[in-house]
Amino acid sequence: MSDQAPLSPCVQICVIHRESGLCTGCLRSRDEIAAWATMDNAARRAVMERLPEREGLLRQRRGGRAGRLARSNR
């Protein structure tokens, strides 16, 4: 395994998905984004390894207007 620091997954699309708490651009959580600069290489790699499994969380349709109304009535 290389000691080289993993590059940031940031793609300059910084919007936090309200329900999942993940950035829609890089799929990291707010905490992961905030801590990235101070993480060691092993921690960064661990975050990077979890990103692919998060993709499906933001690809699901949320139901448009009907979905918003249903969620607001909970």
Residue type, 71: R
4-13, 41-50, 64-73: least confident range: 64-73
> pLDDT value at position 2?
60
For residue range 21-65, list pLDDT tens digits in order: 999 999 999 999 999 999 999 999 999 999 999 988 876 556 667
Which of 4, 21, 3, 24 is CA-nearest to residue 12? 24
Which of 32, 24, 31 is CA-nearest to residue 6? 32
Predicted confidence (pLDDT) at residue 17 exceeds the cutoff of 60: yes
> pLDDT value at position 27?
96
> pLDDT value at position 61?
59
Q: How far apart are CA 68 and CA 47, in angstroms?
A: 30
Q: How far apart are CA 33 and CA 35, in angstroms?
A: 6
